Structure 1
Amino acid sequence: MNTISTFVILYPVIVSIVWIVGSIFYSIQMRTVPLRNLHAGQPDDLVSVLIPGHNEQDTLASVVESVSHITYSNIELVLINDGSQDDTLRVMHELANQYQSQFPVKVVNIEVNRGKANALNVGAQEAAGTFLLCLDADCYVDANVIQPMLAQFYNNAKVGAVAGKPIVRNRTSILGRLELLEYVGVIDIIKRGQAFVTGHITTVSGVVVAYRKAALEDAGWWNIDAITEDIDITWRLYHHGWQVIYCPRAVAWILVPERIRDLINQRRRWARGGFEVLFRNREMLVTGRLSEQWLLLDMVLSDLWAISCSFVTLFYLFTVAFTGDLIMDGVILFLLLFISLVQFLIGYADSRKSDFISWQDLLLLPLYVIFYWFINLVSCLTSLGSFFLDPRHVGSWRSPDRGL
């Protein structure tokens, strides 16, 4: 029991220190990287902007408007309706007519809802661009999103995908503001740390990511059987020798769940997608590149930590119930809280100019530390159970709660 307890305590501390140090050096490194590095005399390649949607009539106008402000001139827009039951298709045609004079717009209609991966596959076949910028239908993309992504592609011919940085924009609820703190203090920090330490990241963010079309073709496009197409395509690219890069300069503002039930469902889907990818790529723990082995090992240890943490917690609760002794190690609690605070402050220092965090948001920091450990622990455990008890699923999607 002591060994398990030690692992539960030390694993998050050690990993957090690695990500913190890696994030600091990554930020220093990024300051020396030029924003754009195009080959002399080379024309700007066509970038196809793909926006798939299912029942997105209320959010489409906003994301397409943001695309119209993109400063990179050589783009086309591909709108993909995936079996929507509302007026999404009609809205897509209206937007096509509205913006057709500014850039080419294609509307692709899929009669039956078969999921985001299938919608992206169909849309990619209609896209003429050398690169594909894939956006979620509920985001609002930064005007300068494309240039820093293209710089990564042109700097290294083996880069198959460039992941952008999502920023939470719906902050009227406590839950939305907690998710803002998580994106700053956890998700962004981990990606920066992974990028510096391993040169790779565990997954792109499907809400804003650019792909080299040739790399997607080489990897066999998106897997329609994967529950999380963004995690799956990341590792399919790795499997075929491509690199996936994180680019926090490429920003998109996103809407996040504002109901606990929807948040847990989202995190369960993320966690299950991770289990699927780990299972499909388990041989890479031995045969993969060192950086890939490191990331997969971290995924394994994270799952073991969730199981161990639940076991230790239950043991502690039973001990309290039978003995009445509410014993907690203050030093351990202080260490975990201190590491979490330092990790957030590093993320805040990197993101304060783009994320616009208010002092009211910062007041929720103590709650955020406790709440998100609990949410992600529950999500991981329930997803692990569903992965083994119900290994099959149907490739469809529904409109999530986004605080609208």
Structure 2
Amino acid sequence: MTGLIQGISNILDGYTLVYPLIMSIGWAIGAIFFRQHVQNSTDEVTLPSNTINIMISVFNEEAIIDDTLTALYQLSLPNVSFVIVDDFSTDNTVEKIKNFQTEYDWRALTLVEMSQNGGKARALNYALKHVNQAEFVLVIDADSIIDPNAVEYLLAEFDQAQIGAVTGKPVVRNRSTILGTLQSFEYMTTIDGIKRAESYLFESIMSVSGVLVMYRTEALEAIDFFDVNAMTEDIDVTWKLYQHGYSVKYSPNAISYILAPETIKGFLAQRKRWAIGGVEVLLKNLRIIFKHPDTFKTFLLGEMIMGHIWAWSLAFSFVKLIFIYLATGELIAKITVLLIYIILTMVVSLIGLVLDRHASQFTLRDLRVWPVFYVFYWGGNFIASISSEIAIIFGQKGNGTWTSPDRGI
């Protein structure tokens, strides 16, 4: 029995060490090869001939809504209209939108005011059913400042009828704190790299980015729009599209500049919400693995499962390390493994910096977070995975209503 326990312990220790290494290498290789398959280039951007609605659901965003409205108003695009759905804000958000619309005589903008707070998904569904008449709808968040060419880049990817959605690349624009800079580095190197790798290796991505995603309207209608009970509507709608035979693509040239949480509380709340949404989708789609196996989708779901197993193996290894220290006074640390981690992190991050091509406007000053980034990323994943599973066990689900998130301002 002792030998069996020791064997299991060694397996968990090995998995704890090896999983991040293998995933990092896989992401790096996939991201590099994906670059060769990006169809768009800055020379191929053309003005859209299709009708498009740019849609935002807002709740208590008075602090940032003026910047977003200004950026949208300055877009010089034909066949594009704008819809803002206010989800019963209790601050001056609606007043600011109306004042802006009046000041600039912005007739392309439609403001929809919900009679009660029901959540982002419910607000978007209402607008999609009662206002949207365009072929495509671009959904962005209230803090999204989209690049002038983003719409064209996204639309260019809809070259086949089965493509239901195309998502773009978020770039964090607030870096006044170490936490904000770390997230900027994460989006630039890891999140972008993972989506590139998934696109190349699996011809699919785990989730669209809700801050910048264009949908084919008929695809949203086919899946009965967004699930109002989902914790995170973006990952949920991605897999609903897959279930109905649609493809989802990633366009790293389409950029949206966003605000990230700059408080620990706001950051952890965001990551916990993301993780719960991921677990919900995993549970909903397990039948893909067992009933109707799709190689690429199975790999994506399998990677999510492996990530949660890794979180628990890390917890086990950490507790074991503490017990060994308390019993012997020795702290066992494998210097060679740590050095490999550090070197690999620097290589993966460097690849991300090169692929970014300065789109994130990262500076030498921002690189001060480089030495601790690896701990930040995997540590954040660990906390999010464990907390999401505990939340699911105790019945926490999406409840429809929302609070305005920590925008880091």
Change (3 A) 1:98 1:47: farther
Q: State whether residues 45 and 152 of structure 2, in contact with CA within 8 Å, keep that contact through their aligned partners in structure 1.
A: no
Distance 1:32 1:391 in 2: 41
| Structure 1 residues 182 and 33: CA distance shift in structure 2, 3 A | same
Q: Which is worse superposed, 332-341 or 268-277? A: 332-341
Runs of 4+ in 1 over 3 A off after TM superposition: 31-38, 98-101
Q: What residue number does 2:329 align with? A: 324
TM normalised by structure 2 equals 0.94
- Tell me: CA distance 1:140–1:285, structure 2 relative to 1, closer, same or farther (3 Å): same
Q: 2: CA distance between counterparts of 1:380 and 1:95?
A: 42
C-alpha offsets along residues 248-297 of structure 1, whole Å, 9 cap, x if unaligned? 11101000000011101110000010000000111011314211111011
Match of 2:253 in 1: 249
From 12, 22, 42, the equivalent of 1:14 is 22
The answer on 1:388 being equivalent to 2:393 is: yes
Whether 1:107 aligns to 2:111 is yes
**Alpha-carbon separation, structure 2, partners of 1:144 and 1:198:** 27
Aligned equivalents of 2:294, 2:101: Cα separation in 1: 44
Aligned mates of 1:397, 1:180 — CA distance in 2: 24
* Counterpart in the other structure of 1:300: 305
Q: 2:170 is matched with which residue?
A: 166
2-side partners of 1:258 and 1:115: how far apart? 23
Specify the code of the residue in structure 2 equivalent to 1:204.
V
In structure 2, list runs of 5 or more residues that go unmatched.
1-8
2:88 matched to 1:80? no
- Residue type matched to 1:398 in 2? T
- For residues 48 and 251 of structure 2, the distance between their equivalents in structure 1, rounded to whole angstroms, comes to 22
1:216 aligns with 2:229: no
Structure 1 residues 1-400: aligned runs within 5 Å: 1-30=9-38, 36=44, 44-101=49-106, 104-125=108-129, 126-153=131-158, 155-286=159-290, 287-400=292-405
Could you tell me which amino acid in structure 2 is paired with residue 281 of structure 1?
N
TM-score when normalising by structure 1: 0.95
Moved more, 1-10 or 222-231: 1-10
Residue 100 of structure 1 and its aligned partner are, at CA, apart by 4.2
Assess, with a 3 A threshold, how the Cα gap between structure 1 residues 95 and 124 changes in structure 2: closer, same or farther. Answer: farther
SS at match of 1:363: helix
Q: CA separation of 1:32/1:146 partners in 2, compared to 1, >3 Å: closer, same or farther? A: closer
Structure 2: distance between partners of 1:260 and 1:13: 27
CA distance in 2, matches of 1:363, 1:352: 19
Write out per-residue CA displacement over residues 191-239 of structure 1, whole angstroms, 9 at most, x where no aligned residue: 0000111111000000111000000011110000000000100000001
Q: Structure 2: which amino acid aligns with 1:18?
A: G
Alignment partners' CA distance in 1, 2:302 and 2:43: 33
SS at match of 2:175: coil
Counterpart Cα distance in 1 of 2:306 and 2:280: 15
How much has 1:66 moved relative to structure 2?
A: 1.1
Partners in 1 of 2:298 and 2:319 — Cα distance?
A: 32
Pick which of 103-112 and 294-303 moved more. 103-112
The amino acid that maps onto 1:167 is V
Distance 1:36 1:157 in 2: 20
CA 1:36–1:239: 2 relative to 1, 3 Å: farther
Corresponding letter in the other structure for 1:316: L
CA distance in 2, matches of 1:281, 1:227: 15
> Hey, what's the Cα distance between the residues in 1 that align with 2:43 and 2:218?
23
Q: Is the 8 A contact 1:72 1:144 kept in 2?
A: no
C-alpha distance in 1, partners of 2:42/2:119? 37
Q: How many residues align?
A: 399
Please list every run of 5 or more consecutive structure 1 residues that lacks an aligned counterpart in the other structure.
Answer: none
Q: Is the 8 A contact 2:40 2:153 kept in 1?
A: no
Between the aligned partners of 2:109 and 2:242, the Cα distance in structure 1 is: 32
1:37 Cα offset (Å)? 8.0
Using the TM superposition, name which of 258-267 and 86-95 deviates more: 86-95
Cα displacement string for residues 112-153 of structure 1 (whole angstroms, at most 9, x for unaligned residues): 111111111112121121100111001211111111111111
- RMSD of equivalent CA atoms: 1.7
Residues 123, 36 of structure 1: alpha-carbon distance in 2 compared, 3 angstrom cutoff: farther
Give the aligned residue type for 2:186.
E
Q: 1:37 to 1:357 in 2, by over 3 A?
A: closer
* Partner secondary structure for residue 354 of structure 1: coil
Farther-moved stretch of structure 1 (338-347 vs 62-71)? 62-71
- State whether residues 231 and 273 of structure 1, in contact with CA within 8 Å, keep that contact through their aligned partners in structure 2: yes
